[in-house]
Structure 1
Amino acid sequence: MQLGTVTPILRIFDETKALEFYVDFLGFKVDWQHRFEADFPLYLQVSLGECVLHLSEHHGDVSPGAAVRIQAPGVDAFQQQLQAKNYRFAKPGVEETPWGSREMSIKDPFGNRLVFVEEGEG
């Protein structure tokens, strides 16, 4: 058996805050959005490079507070881009881990943690 790609689903509570964080701050693009009716919860897909995330306002889809590790070669340059945006709710830094990676951890407005990881040499 061969497994395919994984698409994490992250819980969101507010469309405006989600778009401000994922699109305006992190630089993801909205690929598509879906609502069953006009006043129903939003479900959408965002992507940046090869990273694809699903964001859901549906309470039965997932619990808030998930953690996702995202491969991010060039994490230092990405961190500098984010700092330049001066987003008032997050000022992420990059840290060197004891296991040799460089990691930048950011919590979204809903308590989900995104960890951007650049693997070390070796």
Structure 2
Amino acid sequence: MATLGHPTPILRSFDEARTKDFYLNYLGFELVFEHRFEDWAPLYMAVKLGDCVLHLSEHYGDATPGAALRIPVDDVSAYMADLRAKKHGNSRPGEPQETPWGTREISIADPSSNRLTFFTPIDGAA
């Protein structure tokens, strides 16, 4: 039987400048690559933070705005504090919330209305 690796989500994006500002400057991801078939063509890019790799695409049909992702983080409270300290104009996460399924989490919408939920398991829960 085949062994599967980590999936790479593709999220829809619409505005290159706002998307880069949000993922690179605000969330702290690094740019892995950018691709366009022509100079005028839509952008397809990859970003990475730790083991989390995301692809962001302006291409029609690659993804639908409003997707939701759950991303584990070693300390969601510390990550939230880092994000709030940046005073980003369009996003300010609230305090982490404890869930009935044993996580502490925050949710943030990106410029294309994709919801990113960052979570930390509480006491070994998943």
Q: Provide the TM-score with structure 2 as the length reference.
A: 0.94
Question: Which blocks of at least 5 consecutive residues in structure 2 are unaligned?
Answer: none
| Aligned residue type for 1:99 | W
| Aligned residue type for 1:52 | V
1:98 aligns to 2:111 (yes or no): no
Structure 2 residue aligned with 1:110: 112
Number of aligned residue pairs: 122
Q: Secondary structure at the match of 1:111?
A: coil
Q: CA deviation at 1:42?
A: 0.2
Structure 2 residue aligned with 1:29: 30
Q: Provide the TM-score with structure 1 as the length reference.
A: 0.97
Q: CA deviation at 1:60?
A: 1.3
| Aligned residue type for 2:78 | A
RMSD: 0.8
Structure 2 residue aligned with 1:63: 64
CA distance, structure 2, for counterparts of residue 84 and residue 29 of structure 1 = 19
User: Deviation string for 1:43-78 (max 9, x for gaps)?
Assistant: 000000100000000011111110000011111100
Question: Which blocks of at least 5 consecutive residues in structure 1 are unaligned?
Answer: none
Segments ≥4 residues shifted beyond 6 Å: none
